[in-house]
Amino acid sequence: MSDLNAQMVEKYRNSFLKEVEANVEEGEWVKMCMQCGVCSGSCPLGPYWEHPPQEIFMMIRAGKREEVLKSESMWMCTSCYNCIVRCPRGLPITHIMHGLAHYAERLGLAPKQNPTRRFALMFWDNIAKHGRVNETVLSIKLYFMDGFSAGIKRALEMLPVGLGMLKAKRFNPWGLFFHKGCKGKRDIQKILAKAREIELAKAAKFGG
């Protein structure tokens, strides 16, 4: 168990709902859910979710901590905002899903092999370093994330798509070697480091 996870288990022994309220983006909204099911019915990937949003909210209140935080479900959110505009109680569902996924990641409980988790982390890493997305590096890393031979197979499958984009001048093969990113990338790194520091300090205050 990660240190942070152990601390949180200790601190919020009786109430996962409280833990979510204090640590998850927009978590204080969870208690407002009236279990109508509209969100689950509106979700484009709903059929694939083991626990659609309505169920996740119910499980949070029922204290099913491990089941929620280890779930692949939140990682399937496409950020389509369908649920948000339809929820009769006005819950910012999309942000809660993102917040739960991020919190699970911080605690080391997120499902390691989930492809969207891995892609999302690569994406963040890419922009946090350079300030802008380097699409070339990102796609190569994505194809090769399961090792070299799987990567070659995936890259070959994607080759016609890539060549189409190249011909249309919408893919930059040189991006692998030359991509400037932002001039202020040092500034961006400093801003992000500070933001993270503030966030961790807050978590320690609530949860420590």
Residues 82, 73: Cα–Cα separation, whole Å: 16
Q: Of 36, 134, 127, which Cα lies nearest the Cα of 90?
A: 36
Looking at beta carbons only, is 53 or 99 nearer to ligand SF4? Answer: 53
Q: Sign of dihedral through CA atoms 201, 202, 203, 205? A: positive
Residues 113, 150: Cα–Cα separation, whole Å: 15
Binding track, positions 112-151, relative to other proteins; x by CB under 8 A: ---xxxxxxx-xxx-xx--xxx-x---x--x---------
Q: Of 120, 84, 115, which Cα lies nearest the Cα of 102?
A: 120
Helix (H) or strand (E) holding 19: helix 16-23
Binding track, positions 49-68, relative to ligand SF4; x by CB under 6 A: ----xx--x-----------
| Interaction residues for ligand SF4, span 73-92 (CB under 6 A) | 77-83, 87-89, 91
SS3 category, 75: helix
Residues 78, 83: Cα–Cα separation, whole Å: 11
DSSP code at position 51: S
Q: Does 48 bind ligand SF4 (CB under 6 A)?
A: no
**Minimum CB separation from other proteins for residue 14, in Å?**
26
Residues that bind other proteins (rule: CB under 8 A) add up to a total of 64
Looking at beta carbons only, is 94 or 126 nearer to ligand SF4? Answer: 94
Q: Of 128, 131, 101, 126, which Cα lies nearest the Cα of 139?
A: 126
Distance of CA 190 to the CA centre of its chain: 22
Choosing among ligand SF4, other proteins, none, which partner's interface includes residue 191 (Cβ < 5 to 8 Å by kind)? other proteins
Which stretch in 7-15, 32-40, 53-61, 154-162 sits in contact with other proteins by CB under 8 A? 154-162
Give the interface with other proteins as residue ranges (CB under 8 A). Answer: 25, 44-45, 48, 76, 78-82, 84-85, 94, 98-99, 101-102, 105-106, 110, 115-121, 123-125, 127-128, 131-133, 135, 139, 142, 157, 160-161, 164-165, 167-172, 175, 182-184, 187-188, 190-196, 198-199
Give the interface with ligand SF4 as residue ranges (CB under 6 A). Answer: 33-39, 42-45, 53-54, 57, 77-83, 87-89, 91, 93-94, 97
